[in-house]
Amino acid sequence: MAKEKILVIGASGQIGVELTLALRKIYGNQNVIASDLREQNPLLEGTGPYVSLDVMNKEMLHVQVIRQNITQVYLLAAILSATGEKNPNLAWHLNMQGLLNVLDIAREEKLNKIYWPSSIAVFGPTSPKQNCPQQTIIEPTTVYGISKYAGEFWCNYYHQRYGVDVRSLRYPGLISYKSAPGGGTTDYAVEIFHEALEHHAYQCFLEEDTYLPMMYMPDAIRATIELMEAPKENIGIRTSYNIGAMSFSPKEIATAIQQHIPDFRMLYKPDSRQSIANSWPQSIDDSVAQQHWQWKPEYDLEAMVTDMLKNLKAKPNI
């Protein structure tokens, strides 16, 4: 494998921690620089270099890329759907300008590869609800979705016009036990596990029959690495790939948890996040990713629930 030096921006977040650890296993600890606005996550401490970095400060970002001889950037810093609705200007600004800063530096420094995630949030109420295809009507109604859709076209533009090898996935809601989620509409599917173990009860902010596309973090990390390692000629989509794994409602995940914790109770008190969830598809057609780079998920609802509970029970603070 050619020598790569990777910068992960947003490394202290829900995906960043696990992706950084996975990249360090492949490329070597010293070759993966973690960076974030936040102090570094305790799970990353002692595993490799960390720098404090604001992706909005293009000059400092450029200096880091040159100083560290960076060849690849994974840009994870963003404001997610629910937090974005509280401060639309900030969400637009960070999600767009952060991406443009990285794409510009990638072009100027001729970086080998860039990874930037999009989301199922690009889809809106006019997109098909079931098996939402790669190419369809896309009219997002959240600022987060608008920023992701615009970002997809910036990626495509930098690829077409400047040859930047930027790759992207439209992640579904991600479920993980290592690092907490950061302000999304799908966060209930993580919170539910902590509450089930600690209090045997959870008050859900979505209605019981709200189906959404979801994925367990090990599948998301593997998808990201498989996409990034796929031969260039296989990457036919330069906006962002649909990827899917499972689709369930709050009621269904509660039932799956009850198989392990029989007295677990669910209460429902929908809030403003319900309308965001209602605007998204319930399931995703990822056949294009399957064809182009052989994407295949491993975890379904039961396997994910069993693994989440096993790992959370083993955590010292639970």
State which of positions 67-96 bind ligand NAD (CB under 6 A). Answer: 76-78, 80, 94
Computed from CA positions of residues 102, 105, 106, 111, in that sequence, does the dihedral angle turn out positive or negative? negative
Instruction: Count the site residues for ligand NAD by CB under 6 A.
Output: 28
Site for ligand SER contains 80 (CB under 6 A)? yes
Task: Kindly report the backbone phi and psi dihedral angles of residue 311, in degrees, each rounded to the nearest multiple of 5, phi listed first.
Answer: -75, -35
Cα–Cα distance for residue pair 197/199, rounded to 1 Å: 6
| Amino acid symbol at 31 | N
185 binds ligand SER (CB under 6 A): yes
Q: Is 17 helix (H, G, I), strand (E, B) or coil?
A: helix
Q: Which residue type is seen at 183?
A: G
Instruction: Say how far apart CA 279 and CA 296 lie, in whole Å.
Output: 26
Residues 213 to 272 in contact with ligand SER, rule: CB under 6 A: none
144 has catalytic annotation: yes
Tell me the closest approach of the beta carbon of residue 233 to ligand NAD, in angstroms. 26
> Cα(179)–Cα(167) distance, rounded to whole angstroms?
24
Binding mask 142-181 for ligand NAD (x = CB under 6 A): -----------------------------x-xx------x
Cβ contacts of 289 within 8 Å, gap of 6 or more: 169, 223, 227, 241, 242, 243, 295
What span, in angstroms and rounded, lies between the C-alpha atoms of 103 and 110? 10
94/312 with CB nearer ligand NAD? 94
Give yes or no for a contact between 100 and 162, defined as CB atoms under 8 angstroms apart: no
Rounded to a whole number of angstroms, the minimum distance from the CB of residue 216 to ligand NAD is 11
Which one of ligand NAD, ligand SER, none is in contact with 185 (Cβ closer than 5 to 8 A by kind)?
Answer: ligand SER
User: In this structure, are residues 275 and 163 in contact, taking their beta carbons and an 8 Å threshold?
Assistant: no
Identity of the residue, 50 or 248, whose beta carbon is nearer to ligand SER in the bound complex: 248
Residues in contact with ligand SER, counted by CB under 6 A, come to a total of: 9
The secondary structure of residue 276, as a DSSP letter, is H
Rule CB under 6 A: is residue 81 a binding residue for ligand SER?
yes
Binding site for ligand NAD (CB under 6 A): 9-10, 12-16, 36-38, 53-56, 76-78, 80, 94, 117, 119, 171, 173-174, 181-182, 184, 186
Active site residues per annotation: 144
Binding site for ligand SER (CB under 6 A): 80-81, 119, 121, 144, 173, 184-186
